[in-house]
A and B are shown apart, each in its own frame.
Chain A
Amino acid sequence: MPDTLLDVRNLIAYYMTPTAPVRAVDNVSFNVTEKEILGIAGESGCGKSTLAYSILRLLKPPGYIRGGEVLFKGSDLLKIEEEELRRIRWKHISYIPQSSMNALNPVMRIEEQIGDAIINHEKISKGELRKRIEDLLVSVGLSPSVAHMYPHELSGGMRQRVVIAMAMALDPELIIADEPTTALDVVVQRGILQLLRDIRSKLKASVIMITHDMAAQAQIVDRLAIMYAGKIVEIGDANDLFNDPLHPYSRALISAIPSISEKKKLKGVPGFPPDLRSPPPGCRFYPRCPHRIPGKCNVDEPRLIEVKNDRLVACHLYR
Chain B
Amino acid sequence: MENENLIEVNHLTKVFASRGVMSKGQIKAVDDVSFSMPQEKPTILTLAGESGSGKTTIARLILGFIKPTSGKILYQGRDIWKMTKDEWVRYRKEVQAVFQDPYGAFNPLHKVDRVLTIPIRKFKLANSEEEATDLISEALGVVGLKTDEVLGKYPHQLSGGQRQRIMLARAFLLKPKLIVADEPVSMIDASLRASILNVMLDLKSKFSISFLYITHDLSTARYVSDNIIVMYLGSIMEMGPVDKVLVKPLHPYVKLLIDSVPVPDPERRWKNRIELPRIEITSQSLQTRGCKFYPRCSQRMEKCSKERPDLANVEEDRWVACHLYQ
Contacts and interface: CB of A to CB of B under 8 A. Distances in A.
B280 A215 contact: no
A258 B274 contact: no
A67 B275 CA distance: 44
Contacts, number: 137
B191 interface: yes
A142 interface: yes
A256 B191 CA distance: 6
Interface of B: 50-51, 159-162, 189-198, 216, 218-220, 222-223, 243, 246-247, 256-258, 260-267, 269-270, 273-280
Given A43-B190, A259-B264, A186 B276 contact: no
Nearest to B161: A272
Contact of A268 (B160, B191, B223, B256): B191
Given A215-B219, A258-B222, A272-B162, 18 more contacts: A142-B278, A143-B279, A146-B279, A187-B260, A191-B275, A212-B189, A214-B264, A218-B264, A219-B263, A219-B266, A256-B191, A256-B193, A257-B190, A258-B219, A259-B263, A260-B218, A260-B261, A272-B159
A254 interface: yes
A260 B219 contact: yes
A278 interface: no
A252 B175 CA distance: 33
27 contacts: A141-B275, A141-B278, A154-B280, A187-B256, A187-B260, A189-B262, A190-B270, A190-B274, A214-B190, A215-B261, A215-B263, A218-B263, A219-B269, A239-B266, A242-B265, A242-B266, A253-B191, A256-B190, A256-B193, A256-B194, A257-B264, A258-B219, A259-B219, A260-B261, A266-B223, A268-B192, A273-B159
Contacts of A218: 262-266, 269
A95 B270 CA distance: 26
Nearest to B279: A143
Contacts of B189: 43-44, 212
Nearest to A145: B279
A238 B268 CA distance: 12
Interface string A136-176: 00000111011000000111111001000000000000000
A268 B195 contact: yes
10 tightest A-B contacts by CB? A268-B195, A266-B194, A215-B262, A43-B189, A269-B191, A268-B194, A191-B276, A185-B50, A215-B264, A143-B278
Given A44-B189, A187-B50, A268-B198, A216 B278 contact: no
Interface residues of A, number: 53
Interface in A280-314: none
A79 interface: no
A215 B265 CA distance: 7
Contacts of A253: 190-191
Nearest to B52: A185
A226 to B, nearest CB: 11
